[in-house]
Structure 1
Amino acid sequence: MIRKAHAQWRGTGRDGTGDLTTDSGVLSHTPYSFKTRFESEPGTNPEELIAAAHAGCFTMALAFQLQTAGFTPEELNTEAAVSLVQADGGFKIEKSALTLRAKVPGLDKARFDELAGVAEKNCPVSRVLNAEITLDATLE
């Protein structure tokens, strides 16, 4: 399976602008720039997209873990907060902090923590990130 996205950039790093498009069409000429990345101009940025990918990947991985263990989640809500820091003369994604709030009928906290930990360690996005990953999981 191969998934593709395309980036186009015009101009310098600080003053230029770009857009991102995915083959699925979910992103179609979506703007990104220095201002969408480091300020608050509307548009997206790579870290936001990595956060979305990590939240989605982890949540789906947990849904599969729960299904295999015989549980059906009523709801899984995950936030991923990706931290970009200056390091070694450039920038680095230092951390992805996952915060999960889950409603899973019939599941005890110990088993929930175990399944969430397996999902966090084995979702493909977690496996590709060269960053600290933390998980704060709450079973409601």
Structure 2
Amino acid sequence: MITIKKSANSKWSGDIKTGKGSISTQSGALNNQPYGFNTRFEDKPGSNPEELVAAAHSACFSMALSLALGEAGFTADNIDTKAVVSLDEVDDGFAVTHIALEVNAKIADIANEQFQALCEQTKKGCPISKLMNAEISLTANLL
């Protein structure tokens, strides 16, 4: 069995509305990328958790679809996936209530019916899709 671990780190200081944070990833793709209330709720420049989930889901789906296509004997010329994460106010705060995936792909010699079936299979089997039901462990250290 293979286990791959990747990490990201976020820092925050201040209160929720005027505080500021930064996000960094193990790979360095993000290095102290700013985020805050204004980038999450007021459309100011910078990142936010929902955008990062959307990026992860769209990337994972595209890769997983490439795998499914290959297993079916196809190679995509192009797979372009967009993920839209909906963050809604609910009774007990906020929750991600929906992720809409939209994929546009150019694949030679595949029937639409087979493409649709492979996309549905991929939606269910993509590791980030499965994440939405994953166990979450927590270690909390008060310094």
Q: Which residue of 1 aligns with 2:111?
A: 108
Report the Cα distance in structure 1 between the residues aligned to 2:70 and 2:5, rounded to whole angstroms. Answer: 26
From 81, 99, 102, give the equivalent of 2:84: 81
Report the Cα distance in structure 2 between the residues aligned to 1:2 and 1:72, rounded to whole angstroms. Answer: 28
Q: Which residue of 2 aligns with 1:36?
A: 39
Per the TM alignment, residue 89 of structure 1 is displaced from its structure 2 partner at its CA by: 2.4
Report the Cα distance in structure 1 between the residues aligned to 2:62 and 2:50, rounded to whole angstroms. Answer: 18
Report the Cα distance in structure 1 between the residues aligned to 2:92 and 2:116, rounded to whole angstroms. Answer: 38
Q: Which residue of 2 aligns with 1:118?
A: 121
Unaligned runs of 5+ in 1: 131-140
3-state secondary structure, aligned to 1:113: helix
Q: Which residue of 2 aligns with 1:137?
A: none
Report the Cα distance in structure 1 between the residues aligned to 2:79 and 2:128, rounded to whole angstroms. Answer: 18
Report the Cα distance in structure 2 between the residues aligned to 1:118 and 1:89, rounded to whole angstroms. Answer: 33
Partner letter of residue 105 of structure 2?
Answer: A
Report the Cα distance in structure 1 between the residues aligned to 2:39 and 2:84, rounded to whole angstroms. Answer: 16
Higher strand residue share: 1
Per the TM alignment, residue 88 of structure 1 is displaced from its structure 2 partner at its CA by: 2.2
* TM-score for the superposition, normalised by structure 1: 0.91
Residue deviations 1:77-106 (CA, integer Å, cap 9, x gap)? 110000000112210000000011111000
Unaligned runs of 5+ in 2: 134-143
- Two-structure CA RMSD over aligned residues (Å): 0.8
Report the Cα distance in structure 2 between the residues aligned to 1:109 and 1:42, rounded to whole angstroms. Answer: 39
Percent of aligned pairs sharing the same letter: 43
Q: Is 1:18 paired with 2:60? A: no
* TM-score for the superposition, normalised by structure 2: 0.89
- Number of aligned positions between the proteins: 130
Q: Which runs of 4+ in 1 moved over 3 A?
A: none
Q: Which residue of 1 aligns with 2:100?
A: 97
